[in-house]
Structure 1
Amino acid sequence: MSELKMEEISLPALFEQARKIHLAATESGADQELVRKGCEVLEKCDDMVSKLGLFSANETKDDISTANLKYILVLYYLGELNEKLAGDDRVQILKTSQAKLKEFLTFCEAMELVPEEELQASAQGGANSFVERRALKIARFKRQIAAEAKLTEIRERKERRGRSTKAAALSTPVEAEEEDLLDDDGEEEREAWLTTISLATCKAFDLLEMLKKEEEMLSAIKEIQVKEGDKEFSQDALDDRTRKAEAWHRDAAARAHYTKPAQPITCATFAQDVLEGRAKVSQAHDHKHQPLIFGPQSLVGGSLTSERERMAAQVFQPGHRLPTMSIEEAGLREMQMMNNWQERTAKMMEDANSAWYKDNQKLGPNEDDDDDDDAAQEKARAWDDWKDDNPRGAGNKKLTPCG
């Protein structure tokens, strides 16, 4: 894009083009031609924002109009794209990127867009202790996650409203003025840009820390080069360091065979082998456990050489019953019970599907029914005979009073 063409484009269109270039460069990698083009467009945006005087030093975020909020991100985009540039003087590139990011954060601080904990850390010259740095990073990460979730929610809400508006427009004709009213989502747009700026501040702080560390490393390398007579670090020196490191790790691995005892095969190991199919439950395995001895740590941890020391170590005993088996043994026993149950179930299913069992099922119930019918008839006949011999009330004659 030539300078003349950039002059003809308006600021909103130029910013939208720069934002798309920044997004493409971030997602697709550092394409140098695209990155340089994005830097040129962003530089032009920054120049136009300064000439138009969109922001004032005595303003806050509440005084800035919704249409102008997005131009706060120009410096952030510029600092992030500058870091992706490739060049011989990497230190100068890092310094330029850090300058843009610091300018962006300073402006956000003036607009009251930076959290209080970040301001306190900056006032103290950064977090000093590891605990403070960790707490600051955790808080920053939580803000970043919340901002990303908020942007996703706003985007989904806008898409749903667009679909419902489109469906309503198809069913009911909408006038031009009513359509403008339906698209009036200024509050939502303002919330989206403020959330985007908050997300950019979190990323800017993290990027600043990373660039600072990289600059320190490059400066240290340059100092070493100056001390060694301006000799560059050759690939041979790096290969030599790599060989030494690999040799040290290889020797340490070789020493580990006789300096560290082998891992014993425990019940847990055997159970894991059974579960993964490398062993069977039927295989013999000796489950030995050392008895639990409670007592003073000096005696328990050491070797019990005399009966007196053994008795002293057994003074403090638990007041509850100790388990008779380990968890691994209980698991193996349950596995054995399950195997037995599966074998019995398989045998029952096999018997149930056999022809002999089906024939018995067909013949058995009829014979039993005939036997039951005969027994019931005999019992009914005996009961009728007894009732004939003993009419109702025959046993109460002796209770009749004398006349």
Structure 2
Amino acid sequence: MASESNISLRGLFINALQDASRTFKMSTIEDETQELIVSSLANLKKVAQGVELAGVFSPNETLEDLSTAHLPFLLVDYVLAEMEGRMRAVDGPERMKSLTNSQRHLHAFLRRLRQYDVVPEEEKKAFSKKASEVRDPTARRELKIKQYKTEKEIRSRLEAIGERRGQTGDPNGFNDDLELVASMLLATSADEQQRDDEDDETLRETYLLALRLMWVQAQTLLESMDLELELLRNAPPPAPQRPESEQDTDNTWRLDPSIPRGGPDGKGPLMDSSGRILRPFTILPGVASSERARFQGEVFRPDHRLPSMSIDEYLEEENRRGNIITGGGPDSLNKPTTSEQLQLDSEMDGMLQGELKEEEKRQKDETWAQYTDLHPKGEGNTMNTG
């Protein structure tokens, strides 16, 4: 391929990548997003046509025979698949057409990488099975972990090479993998213009790692597209739409035809002589539905318990239960204590109550005397001396 043609194709590819990376930050239903997708697809198709006419890739070549400058063009089919999948669709058949075109480009991308043996056998083995086809939950989880580690290792190596070549940016920090590819190609393009003695091996390794990363993403995209296509194929057909004129005039299919109001003010009789309802009515709660009305009234109320009695009623009830202590004050100061009252009652000579109180006082004194003998004064206050 001539040098001028190579620069032209590379410039078209970079422009397509820039438009494609911008679409991932925008909503696909917006007209501006669709314009960028159409522009990117147009440039990508020109690039694909130019690559095909120039014979950049040959089935007789190996990966060692392919020049470093031609490696980025292996990504054209992958970017085409991404853009086809983001095309706006108004119905199921149109969405199925977009997914089919996207899958066609993805398979072409995978065939090209398989032709040049870009992906190592270990990575092929990690993605040999689809996670959705594994029934065992434990095996499916282990498979997803293995695939995630494979992808993470590739991203880590890309980041390390970028730091070694003096590029800024973390591969994990981009919004999508397409933005990563665009930024990488733009950076390498600038490096090639500024430095002619660029290490070709490092640049080649960068491109190959990007191809392997896109290969991993292609496997995930194909799996998700297969699931979406299966849902679209099994989706029920849309209901046929009735003509607007027929909808306005034909009301025989309605389950709730218009009901006469029983008069211009809607206050006519409720039923006619044959028992036909003439106007809408509301059934009010009666004796039979009083319990239902009570429950209905308790639905919308405060979430805290409201008081069921006044403060005066509460105090009266507590006083009746004996929970309120009465007395105290100056009057209780002049009243004798329980010991003094017992002494006075025991001095009532010649009366049965006096004798009983005297015996009660004697037992109380005896009990106190026994307690003081067993527990000398100051026994409990040892001041921590044992």
Q: Which has the larger radius of gyration?
A: 2
* Higher fraction of helix: 1
Which interval holds the TM-score relative to the shorter structure?
0.3 to 0.5
**TM-score, normalising length from structure 1?**
0.46
Higher relative contact order (Cα pairs below 8 Å, separated by 6+ residues): 2
**TM-score, normalising length from structure 2?**
0.47
